[in-house]
Amino acid sequence: MKKYKILEHTADVGIEAEGRTLKEAFENAASGMLSIMIEPEKVKELESYSLKVKGRDEKELLVAFLSELLYKYEVADILPKRVDISLLTDKDLKAEVHGEKIDLKRHTVDTQIKAVTYHQLAIEKDKDWKIRVIFDI
């Protein structure tokens, strides 16, 4: 199963992430977002932090989750390498995020993401879970 793919979008960029479970699809969406910003293979797991977000439904929860990862990157310069979600309900998410502070000697920012949007946002369950999210760049 492919974890995610990058979507071209007029003036924006997006991803489609998949997972056998919704938790795995959320984790793959985080990996996809990172891959837009930077080369993921250059990020190491040197530190971690806990993340908790709430939402009224799964879509709002997804936007809150990805926005919190983006916020930590922008404010604390922490690049997420791997996200381990320990709790995921339709309104709550708890996770441990592993990564490292950005090091401009090793990391080159490819695309600066400004925001996670609701435009064309989709969370669907067929055989597997599929997520589509568009980012404002």
d(CA 124, CA 127): 10
Count of beta carbons in the 10 Å neighbourhood of residue 92: 12
Strand partners, 124: 130
Say which CATH architecture domain 4-136 belongs to: 3-Layer(bab) Sandwich (3.55)
Count of beta carbons in the 10 Å neighbourhood of residue 105: 6
Break the chain into its structural domains and give their ranges. 4-136
Q: Sign of the C-alpha dihedral, residues 133, 25, 66, 106? A: negative
Strand duo 129-136 + 78-88: pairing: unpaired
Q: Tens-of-pLDDT digits for all 137 residues of the chain?
A: 778 888 776 678 999 999 999 999 999 999 999 999 999 899 999 999 999 999 999 999 999 999 999 999 999 999 999 999 999 999 999 999 999 999 988 998 888 999 999 999 999 999 999 999 999 98
pLDDT at 9: 63
Q: Are 65 and 86 in contact (CB under 8 A)?
A: no
What is the Cα gyration radius of the chain? 14
